[in-house]
Structure 1
Amino acid sequence: MSFERRALLASPTAPAQAAAAELADSAEWVDAEEADVVIALGGDGFMLQTLHAMLERRKPTVPVFGMNLGTVGFLMNEWRYHGLDARLERAKAFKVTPLMMTATGIDGRVHQLPAINEVSLLRETRQTAKLEVTVNDRVVLPELACDGILVATPAGSTAYNLSAQGPILPLGSALLALTPISPFRPRRWRGAILPDKARIAIRVLDAAKRPVSAVADQREIRDIAQVDVCMDRARELTLLFDPEHALDDRITMEQFIG
């Protein structure tokens, strides 16, 4: 791959800003609106912020090559100052399809937000959340008592979903993980793996007494009555990785980490 117009974006952290200063004179950088590739410096959180900004600007087709100046850096490549041209030419592209969350508040207001990793519902108070779960218009759980529940994409299955003991989904598997968070009843339900064409609806039972918030990656809507989740295939994103650190291999290898 060859990219002439490049944009450089960096997290406000000191390491990312220092790296950006090193790269500043290595190329003629353009604004993200004009770029045909984005170089993102930071951690996974900054990568998610960058991708969400691209969705908001309706620029999801512009690929992003991230370099890790954060902590985990699962969605990032290794930070190196030299050889960026060669790395971009050899980079392997991965398509990531976001979820679309439609959250209806108890006040009737409707909020639509994309999620690249997961959509999660979380109890707001000490009281257990009670949720009704519907898949493709069929009620599959009339009442789930829990701390919450999440819907994760393959790209996000190694994040919050894995911490909640959900399954790791291979990239390209065309699956979603539906994972409960600290389920109380039914006590033995550990979640489900669904086709990514599934339409998932989660209704909050007794929302006034047992308030629940909905979170699409990093953006939260409080006091919701219902959340509907589906894949947003019209807004696929492209991430670029060094061949030796490709995203599909990282997700696979997470299954063997103790």
Structure 2
Amino acid sequence: MSALLSVKNLSKEFGGVHAVEDLSFEVEKGRIHSIIGPNGAGKTTLFNLITGLYQPSAGSVHLNGRSLAGHKPHELAPLGMCRTFQNLQICMKMSGLENVMLGRHRHLGQGTPASRLKLPALRRGDRECRQQCAELMEFVGCGQYLNHHASAMPYGALKRLEIARALASEPDILLLDEPAAGLNRTETDALREVIRKIADKGITVVLVEHDMKLVMSISDQVLVLCYGRQLADGTPEQIRANPDVIDAYLGSRKPEEEAIA
């Protein structure tokens, strides 16, 4: 099976320090691929390289066989890639629905002249957009907050709202940067089900996460980083049993103990 996302010999230096060094891996379509590692391992730097926030010092990133070299972040959504960030990027003074509608902007295809004339097609397109975004809010479990200001929504719902907004762009691949950060166990369980449903729809998910219980229960493949380099890449079972991973990241406990911690 050909890879949807292919990273080859990717490196990034900051003042002579390698944040990511000679990293290669592939992500197949429709799978959940997690990236783990201790703080400072280069996980978010890797996401920033893939999504165009940083330009690599060396190496390449290909999406569907197409090089992403030189592409800016806003140019990736039309190519089928979208991401979330560690810190919430929500417009708190807007409603939940309005936030999700921002993610469908590229699909509306309506310029300023049409907006000024208020053509029937524009009104119809707006109704369809609202309906589709409302359905996405239901899909991620935020339907009850449709018309609530984001500032009135609980933190766990805001994390899922951000995922709904990313899904509104209709991506082929969705990159989630620490989506479970700050969530309690109930909220994390709800997030797990959302990620599974996303993958069931055929959308590829690449996940950076510290919650090992979430990672090991949901991933098809796990990439382990240490100081910007690949330490291991395999199934959750292979990662649990890998002695290098246990020593460098999981600690001295037995893998099965770590998996349920």
Q: TM-score, normalised by structure 1?
A: 0.32
Bigger relative contact order, structure 1 or 2, given CA contacts below 8 A and separation 6+? 2
Greater strand share, 1 or 2? 1
Greater helix share, 1 or 2? 2
